[in-house]
Amino acid sequence: MSLHYKWNDLELPQGDFTTGLSRVNSQVAFSPNLYRISLQQTGNICEQIGINKRLPWVPRAGQEALVVLNYNLQDWGQDNTLNTANSDLSVKSCYWFRF
């Protein structure tokens, strides 16, 4: 697991402002072939929370199945109420041919 926070204090001719971006990344291995990767991040300017979760399964080298969930929440009215901006669920598979 890792936690990151990036802070920028900017001074420009048009005005001064501060930005912040926080990120949480976690990885859990259920077995050598199945694991979960999760990333959540938010910023103070965009008023949005992004969530990405991946569940890869690798039964053998050259074979992979993957489930990916992307979910975004946004504070449209700047009133600290989060609403779903978009969401996406994907299932992917990969098989490598070797000669």
Digits of tens for pLDDT over the chain (99 positions)? 999 999 999 888 988 888 899 999 999 999 999 999 999 999 888 788 999 999 999 999 889 999 999 999 998 777 878 888 899 999 999 998 877
Q: Measured between alpha carbons, how far is residue 22 from residues 1, 10, 36, 69, 74 in Å?
A: 14, 17, 20, 20, 15
Assessment of whether the complete model's pTM goes beyond 0.95: no
pLDDT score, position 43: 85
| Pairing, β 83-95 against β 48-57 | unpaired
pLDDT at 59: 92
Cβ–Cβ < 8 Å for 55, 67: yes
Measured CA distances, 23 to 1, 39, 41, 50 (Å)? 11, 7, 4, 9
pLDDT in the model for residue 41: 94
